[in-house]
A = this chain, B = another copy of it.
Amino acid sequence: MSEKDLYEKIVELAVRRGFFWQSYEIYGGVAGFVDLGPLGSILKKNIENKWRQWFILKHQDFIVEIESPAIMPKAVLEASGHLEHFTDPIVECLRCGRKFRADHLIEDAIGKSVEGLTPHQLTEIIKENNIKCPSCSGQLSEVRTFSLLFRTTIGPYSENVGFIRPEAAQGMFVAFKRVYDSMRGRMPLGIGQIGKVGRNEISPRQGVIRLREFTIMEVEFFFDPEKPKCPFISEVENDEIRLITAENKLKGIKEPITVTIKGALEKGYIVNEWLAYFMALAQKFVRELGIPFNKQVFEDKLPHERAHYSSQTFDQLVKVSRWGWIEVAGHSYRGDYDLSRHMGFSGKDLTVYKQFSESQEVLVEEISLNHEVLERSYPEEYRKIVNAFSKRDKNIMLAELKAKGYIELAGKRLGPEFFKIAKVKKVVKGKRFIPHVVEPSFGAERLLYATLEYAYTVKNGRVILRLPRDIAPISLAVFPLVSKEPLVSIAKEIYENFKKEGLRVIYDESGNIGRRYARADEIGVPLAITVDYQTVKDNTVTIRNRDTWEQVRAPIKEAYVKIPEYLRYRLEFKDLGVPLKK
């Protein structure tokens, strides 16, 4: 059978009706970039707004949204570790000069995963298996790393290197202290952001699934590591979740287990309550996009599969037809990695102070100079270094040593051997700490694609896009039964009235009514109102249900009030009017 697969059908529909298409088509297209068309851009905004409902507005007293730039100076990504770690292995053909992502090339050739291997190991596998250029069969180069950061220059000085951010997160870490202060020192504190990021993939080949520029929706949730409990966990603790646990993966079992949030926490599958809480919300959010429970799974990533900053990460996967299980979100426990690093690299205090109700004995790390080593190594500069040390904040120096592996004093980079670090018991009235971070992070375009795929249905040979009615790009279609007066004027007035209420509406009078219904069904318009000669007499209209093709009759006045409620899932279709027989 050479029938189109579902992916192709959706792409065909998406291009024809204006959901998405490859960018820069008239110039031959550029892989990894898509335009969202008139319908796609609304659908994406609706998905973003739904995310905002779940991840920001639900807890708007302690989760806020910010907007930080996509262009970042080098210092930020140096501190975050992206400059060093955010790479893919690349290999070049020594004959034709083509470049390939080395791990994908090897996996295609030998049919097994090489995730987490070093460039050296990959080079060895290429040699052992005598893998050649898939394009010209030429000899391949050594594998090296390729930075996935889009690099640029900020301003006229070539040394001011900048990058397009690969994640929104760093904008939140760098601004953490400002947001924290503007929120009057609230802890826990979530900082969310929806924004574009860039990842300079070597050769993306999966259309809208793997983009070089895409939209991230993420929350960095900061909390006191000594208070890791989530007070809302009871709301979700009985929710079931499908987990591929690390334990099972190590045993070779890739089937998910179904477990409650409570159970997953008790068994230690999920290491933190906030992480579990956001995973529970994430599952509900994705279900509201029309992707059912059994088409979602959370996969615990093994240490070598995780990003450099993470101590636990679950990929939230969704099943799609052509690509199998694709990641739509990552749920990471980032610990204090990012804030510590930024504190160490920037030399700015990013700790938070907490007051105890009464004085307590706590264990405090204290740093002092190892004078012996120092004097021996730098007899000339010794006094200057001692002086510089005395002027610096000790906590920041600790962070600097941890982040950079050295502390810079009087122009010298001094490694751990120059310092003594002791844990000291102290009785204090409060203390400073670096908050820990849990991060739910979604990719909007992938969710958009998955949403379309789950909405795509065929009935009597015709396509119906059964989008959830609160995210459908167009909420309502208004048709005159025939393109004649007074039906046209009445229908146009109804169209205008719904528009004024803030609804997205289409008016259509071309072609027969059946064809108009079909056009509306294909883009997922949940309801269609038809104005007919009866309307002229009694101001009632027919309202048609996209999914069932059932119809009800209702006074137009009632429809103005009830349809917005129906679209918010506060009424059912039968509540909209009196059923009509087909």
Binding site for B on A (CB under 8 A): 15-18, 21, 23-27, 30-42, 44, 57, 60-61, 64-73, 75-76, 90, 99, 146, 150-157, 162, 164, 171, 174-175, 177-179, 181-183, 196, 198, 200-203, 212-213, 342, 345-346, 348, 350, 499, 502, 504-507
Contact = CB atoms under 8 A, between A and B. Distances in A.
Chain B CB within 10 Å, residue with most, of A21, A162, A182: A182
22 contacts: A15-B182, A18-B64, A24-B73, A25-B175, A27-B75, A27-B174, A27-B345, A33-B69, A36-B66, A37-B175, A37-B182, A38-B182, A38-B183, A41-B67, A61-B506, A71-B150, A71-B164, A90-B156, A150-B153, A151-B153, A152-B164, A155-B200
Given A15-B178, A26-B174, 16 more contacts: A18-B178, A23-B171, A23-B174, A24-B72, A25-B175, A27-B174, A35-B68, A35-B175, A38-B66, A70-B70, A70-B196, A71-B213, A146-B156, A150-B153, A153-B200, A164-B164
Q: Which 5 A-B pairs have the closest CB atoms?
A: A18-B182, A38-B64, A26-B346, A36-B67, A26-B348
B90 A66 contact: no
| Identical chains bound together, number | 2
Contacts of A61: 506-507
B16 A200 contact: no
A342 B28 CA distance: 13
Nearest to A41: B67
A33 B174 CA distance: 13
B152 A152 contact: yes
A71 B153 CA distance: 14
Nearest to A75: B27
Contacts of A44: 67
A60 B506 CA distance: 8
Given A71-B212, A200-B155, A17 B182 contact: yes
B73 A30 contact: yes
A202 B156 contact: yes
A18 B150 contact: no
Contact of A198 (B31, B32, B71, B75): B71
B60 A505 contact: yes
A15 to B, nearest CB: 7
A86 to B, nearest CB: 15
B24 A75 contact: yes
B35 A66 contact: yes
Contact of A26 (B15, B17, B177): B177
Contacts of A196: 69-70, 196
A60 B499 contact: yes
A393 to B, nearest CB: 14
Contacts of A25: 174-175, 178
B18 A499 contact: no
A177 B67 CA distance: 32
Nearest to A53: B502
